Amino acid sequence: MNDSLAPDALALHRGLVTLDTHIDIPWPPGPEPFQDGPRKVDMPKMRRGGLSAGCFVAYVPQAARSPAGEDAAFARAIAMLDHINAMGRTENNITARVASSAGAIEAAKRDGVLAIVPCVENGFAIGTDLSRLAEFRARGARYLTLTHNGHNALADSCNPRRDLGDRDSEHGGLSPIGVRAIAELNLLGIMVDVAHTSRDTMMQAAEASRTPIVSTHSCVSALCDHSRNMTDWQLDIVRDVGGVIQITAVSAFLKPNAKPEDVSTADFADHLDYAVKRIGIDHVGISSDFDGGGWFKDWKDAGDCANITIELARRGYDRGALEKLWGGNFIRVMRVVEEAAR
Ligand SMILES: [Zn+2]
């Protein structure tokens, strides 16, 4: 970022609650999160980039669906959530706090501390045992991505895993267990994330969930035809249920077959613009997928977050709009989901 170019946008950026809704962590545990190291997101980079909050995910890769495989997936998710919770501490003169509610994320910003929001990616982490969802919630988890690459017991993925024997569709969307999982997620106050799901799964999840669904890291098909992106009719569903799509920094979702070096904040902002024009400013947000494959040339790591604000301010987004895009919309859905929980 160049501080001299856009001082107003920078000052504005520093004042916002900025939430990146999808950040992976190295596993097994990698470089120290409180040192400015090789991770794309660590606490010093969050500070430097004016990123006040992040959804850190316990990501479980899809594997064969044997009881042993499911137990291992659950054990990994729990270990990762415990690790994410342990990031709530003070070290190297930086304080981070686990923030598992909309109010806690806002309070962390007021208190000048970083907010860590634990989440889980891939419903495979529960196998077929719905009681495991409460274990995630007990560790602060605020969303569950229903699938990753590959179908699981809950739902079909947008990317079937041929190596695991997946056909194009296994359940035709959600399975009966998947429907029950969504009911349980609603009761627990865990958001339903449809990134990575098939289009049928997404549509059925929007219908089955009592609260708005979210896509925590996807882009739009109209600008880049990719299985992970949302078509116009999917965007319309997101709006109709009051949900949100968090445009993400994965180069291949932003421009067909692009490498990160070939993608800029302008390309990223084009996807945001498109979604905002299609479904309105209240249903769009920002995510990076850092340390999980996301980055591009002027958003290389969390230290560069202000570049996004500078580009959007240049395009005419005012403070209120930037607030919504940078987390306000996602936090609104989070609050709705909290209030609907038992
Ligand atoms: Zn993902």
What residues contact residue 339 under an 8 Å CB cut-off, 6+ apart? none
- For residue 217, the CA-to-ligand 1 centroid distance in Å is 7
Q: How far apart are CA 26 and CA 36, in angstroms?
A: 15
The domain total for the chain is 1
* Mean of per-residue pLDDT scores for the chain: 97
- Residue 185 Cα to ligand 1 midpoint, Å, equals 19
> What spacing in Å lies between the alpha carbon of 312 and ligand 1's midpoint?
24
**Domain around 113:** 7-340
Predicted structure pTM score:
0.97
Residue 254 sits in a domain whose CATH number is: 3.20.20.140
Distance of CA 33 to the CA centre of its chain: 19
Separation of CA 292 and ligand 1 centre (Å): 7
Q: How far is the CA of 134 from the centre of ligand 1 (A)?
A: 22
> 104 C-alpha to center of ligand 1: Å?
25
pLDDT digits (tens, 9 = 90+) for 205-217: 999 999 999 999 9
198 CA from centroid of ligand 1 (Å): 13
Q: How far is the CA of 316 from the centre of ligand 1 (A)?
A: 30
- Which parts of 228-294 fold into alpha helices (H)? 232-240, 251-254, 265-279
Q: What is the spatial distance between Cα 327 and Cα 1, in angstroms, rounded to a whole number?
A: 21
Q: Residue 7 has what pLDDT?
A: 74
pLDDT of residue 2: 47
Ligand 1 centre from 160 Cα, in Å? 14
Residue at 2 is within a domain:
no
In this prediction, residue 92 carries a pLDDT of: 96
In a domain, 239, yes or no: yes
In a domain, 251, yes or no: yes
pLDDT at 5: 53
Dist. CA 60 → ligand 1 center (Å): 10
The rounded Å distance from CA 8 to ligand 1 centre is 33
For residue 271, how far is its CA from the centre of ligand 1 (angstroms)? 18
Q: How far is the CA of 294 from the centre of ligand 1 (A)?
A: 9
Question: 2 C-alpha vs ligand 1 centroid, how far in Å?
Answer: 30
Residues of the chain scoring pLDDT < 70: 1-6
Q: Which long-range contacts (CB under 8 A, 24 or more apart) does 97-105 make?
A: 98/140, 99/53, 100/140, 100/141, 100/142, 101/334, 101/335, 101/338, 102/331, 102/332, 102/334, 102/335, 102/338, 103/335, 105/17, 105/19, 105/52, 105/53, 105/327, 105/331, 105/334
- Cα of 3 vs centre of ligand 1, distance in Å, is 32
The per-residue pLDDT for range 218-250, each reduced to its tens digit, is 999 999 999 999 999 999 999 999 999 999 999
Say if residue 48 is exposed, middle or buried (CB neighbours under 10 Å; 0-12, 13-18, 19+).
middle
- Whether residue 1 lies inside any domain: the answer is no
Give residue 342's pLDDT: 82
Q: How confident is the model at residue 131, as a pLDDT?
A: 98
